Chain A
């Protein structure tokens, strides 16, 4: 089975600064999807950004962008101009093109300091 690793259990960032959350994964497949989800204190899981492995261009959604390094099997999330509302648990996830399961990392708890 594929594994997803988030090596940073907790991170903190000053408001308006930039922070990068790390994620690595293990797979033998060449095509797949990668995701970052945000889980605020309400515990609703919200999709932040997705990336198709066959696309070389890094995905961007407003202040959120990814650094996708396919050869290194790395998928980091960069949050620019951090806001208090960005404080949450962030999960990295993987899905193959042919499979039905999603594989999640253990999460990174992000604190935003005013």
Chain B
């Protein structure tokens, strides 16, 4: 069966510091991978998605970036965090063309102070 991991679960960072959130998927090959951000009590905002190694689509221009160095690894990064980067970050995967359901990781709660 497939599983998706995210770490860290919780992170508190000062403004201006760098960020690296990691997501890995097990039990499937060549998945589509997604990063979402969710503000408290709000909906999901798609940040990035990837259909393959090195292929990243950005949905929202901001100081965040994403990379996919391996087939089942997806990394969200920032060189300098802003207060507005605080939120709950969710990684998700789905099968590619012809696939349907999206499955989510447990999320990372990021607080920027």
Name A residues whose Cβ lies closer than 8 Å to a Cβ of B. Answer: 33, 35, 37, 42-47, 50, 52, 91, 93, 95, 97-98, 100-102, 104-107, 109
Answer yes or no: B16 CB below 8 A from chain A CBs: no
The count of residues in chain B whose C-beta lies closer than 8 Å to any C-beta of chain A is 25
User: Smallest CB-CB separation from A89: which chain B residue?
Assistant: B41
Query: Which partner residue on chain A sits nearest B45 by CB separation?
Result: A104
A-B contact count (CB 8 A): 51
Please name the 8 residue pairs, one residue from A and one from B, whose CB atoms are nearest each other, closest first.
Answer: A45-B104, A106-B43, A33-B100, A104-B44, A102-B102, A107-B43, A43-B107, A100-B32
Q: Footprint of A on B, CB under 8 Å?
A: 32, 34, 38, 41-44, 46, 49, 51, 88, 90, 92, 94, 96-98, 100-104, 106-107, 109
